[in-house]
Structure 1
Amino acid sequence: MKFCPYFVALFLCLALFACNNPQPKNTTAINDDKDITTNLVSDGVRIDYTDTGTGDTTLLFVHGWCINKTYWADQVAYFGKRYRVVTIDLPGFGKSGKNRTKWNTATFGQDIKNVINQLGLKNVILVGHSMAGNIVLQGAVDAPENVLALVGVDNFKSVGVAWTDSVKAMKEYAEAMAAMKKNFKAVAFDWFNKGLFYKTTSKALRERILNDVAHSDSTVAIACQEWDNFNDAAQLLKAKKKLYLINSDYQPTDTTGLISKKIPYKLLEVHATGHFPMVEKPAEFNKLLDSAIADIKHH
């Protein structure tokens, strides 16, 4: 399968298939283990992060398109009691730097590797939401000795589907990219409103997400959707890590490709949420992630 940027692929698929809680530390916080200040820099770009809790296992959370690390606040509070929990703003988003020209999966994957190395993270479970599924997968390929497993959050819903063989799909992709370059905010809002929110998604959350989209750097956001030929099935096989999927069921997960390619996986579904289950139903999401972690540690 050739890679299509996450949101464009998502909408083409729709068309084609009809009080003790630890507080996060900021980037100038003291590292518990080394008692020094760690400034994360990847490829010359500063990465803003939080580093909470301690433990023999690290959960590294990576956000999706046009949002930021604050969307993992419920997970930081819950899991930081038992594990080391790190959240980052990907370069180009949130409070991280933007001084680079490449915004593809390979470059973001190197960011994940650099975060792991610079913070000295061990026994890492990578958790990636939306487009960050591919990013943490690439990070696992780049730093295999440090990564235990991958957790995708509402992504990898059609691994191995060669939709790029469709002339119609290619045309729609080109049209979507052209429209986004002409009017980024209008097209992005349309994507979220029509395909990523569910009837149960609260007004407050909708407004929060759309506000973050509106204030994102459109040049970076659009570049993230450009073609970079990332092959998810091939990289999953190369990573040799079990894939755990915590996916919303508002759109079904097609596991045919995972099964046919013998990629080890476990699907855990959150019922009746949109594309952001970690903030729409945090308690249920945390319970499912707890289950995934228990399975990872058991093996």
Structure 2
Amino acid sequence: MKSLFYLLTGIFWSLTFTSCNNPSKNSGSNAIDKTAIYDNGVNIAYTDSGKNDTTLLFVHGWCINKSYWTNQTAYFGKKYRVVAIDLPGFGKSGKNRKDWSPMAFSRDVDSVIKQLDLKKVILIGHSMSGDVALQAAVDNPKQVIGLVVVDIFRNVGKVYVQSKQDKIQYAKDIDSLKRYFKKVTFDYFNQELFYKTTSAAVKKRVLHDVATGDTSIAAACMEQMGDFNEIEKLKAAKTKLYLINSDIKPTDTTHLAANKIPFKLLYIHATGHFPMIEKPQEFNTLLDKAIADIKTR
């Protein structure tokens, strides 16, 4: 079953997956759950805290929710306006649609930017939402002033050629994901997304959210991911890319440099796939550096 995730992460997105100990209602001193945003009739749950003309807009990854940004909301809400959203299909957002593609999710982010009338936006997207945030940056060039991606884009620009056999295997893997969702995801998370330093509490939290989410929507996200050309999108976005990645695996920036895409790579030491909850203080320090650089541009 590991072939499913090697295929998904190698060819399209890297995977990402409500805390029992840190529920979203505690995600900052004045962050309150709201649902007054809609994208084509689907409600988008969010928190909105802090005051500033610059807004940090946090977008979570696959099978998790906005509560994973709790520490960041509390920390950055003292200096900026901070908005964290539940993507439709996850957390407290609506599920009443059938399109779970990255383009659909990016339109959700567009709706948040427009309906909250956000002006100077720094987008922060974790894993699956790296592509989502990137597309939103392309769609909102006047509002978005910065783009930060978290533990994603490790081989951005590398071309993968799918054979007929690859496509057949992909369909089989998607079927396995639908039939044996918990086993497939748990095996992969334990083997690939957690590191030896990842605490038992973090593992329990993430696996709980994976197990209790809507598995049909989660599988549909994988099935509908399509082909997303990050290099071409980065060229269209015309903005510097900031990567905050764990250093346990290398990040190949060859194609970013070759395509003259400005970027800054910030490594966080010895974490798994969820650095914002594994080492929140270190993560916040790195994000602070990225924001400072963005504001000087």
Q: Report SS of the residue matched to 2:243.
A: strand
- State the shift of 1:161 in Å: 1.1
- CA distance, structure 2, for counterparts of residue 85 and residue 211 of structure 1: 26
Alignment CA distance shift 1:6-1:185 (3 Å): closer
Cα distance, 1:11–1:234 mapped onto 2, change above 3 Å: closer
1:204–1:290: structure 2 CA closer, same or farther, 3 Å change rule?
Answer: same
Alpha-carbon distance, 1:61 to partner: 0.2
After superposition, the C-alpha distances for 1:152-190 in whole angstroms (9 at most, x for unaligned) are: 000011111112346675455334222102211111111
Tell me which residue corresponds to 2:63: 66
Aligned counterparts of 2:152 and 2:203: Cα–Cα separation in 1: 19
TM-score of the superposed pair, with normalisation by structure 2: 0.89
Query: What is the TM-score normalised by the length of structure 1?
Result: 0.88
Q: Please name the residue that 2:156 is paired with.
A: 159
Deviation at 1:58, TM superposition (A): 0.3
- What letter matches 1:294 in structure 2? A
Alignment of 1:16-27 (within 5 A): 22-27=29-34
Judge conservation of contact 1:248–1:275 (CA < 8 Å) in 2.
Answer: yes
In the other structure, the counterpart of 1:75 is 72
- 4+ residue runs over 2 A deviation: 5-13, 164-176
Between the aligned partners of 1:249 and 1:65, the Cα distance in structure 2 is 21
> What letter is aligned with 1:10?
T
Equivalent-residue separation in structure 1 for 2:199 and 2:136 (angstroms): 33
1:12 and 1:169 in contact (8 A); partners too: no
State the distance in 2 between where 1:293 and 1:48 align: 25
Partner of 1:273 in structure 2? 271
CA distance in 1 between counterparts of 2:231 and 2:76 reads: 30
Q: Secondary structure at the match of 2:34?
A: coil
Match of 1:9 in 2: 8
* Corresponding residue SS for 2:207: helix
Mapping of residues 1-299 of structure 1, within 5 Å: 8-10=7-9, 22-27=29-34, 39-165=36-162, 170=167, 172-226=169-223, 227-299=225-297
Distance in 2 of aligned mates of 1:170 and 1:256: 27
Instruction: Name the CA shift for 1:94/1:228 in 2 (closer, same or farther; >3 Å).
Output: same
C-alpha distance in structure 2 between counterparts of 1:120 and 1:141, whole Å: 17
Amino acid paired to 2:149: G
The question of whether the paired residues in 2 share the 8 Å contact of 1:63 and 1:132 is answered with yes
Q: Which runs of 5+ in 2 are unaligned?
A: 13-27
Query: In 1, distance between residues paired with 2:170 and 2:159?
Result: 14
SS in 1 for 2:149: strand
CA distance in 2, matches of 1:208, 1:223: 23
C-alpha RMSD of matched pairs (Å): 1.9
Aligned-pair distance for 1:209?
Answer: 0.3
Runs of 5+ unmatched residues, structure 1: 14-20, 29-38
The size of the alignment, in residue pairs, is 278
Letter in structure 2 aligned against 1:106: M
**Deviation per residue, 1:41-61 (Å, 9 max, x gap):** 111100100001001210000
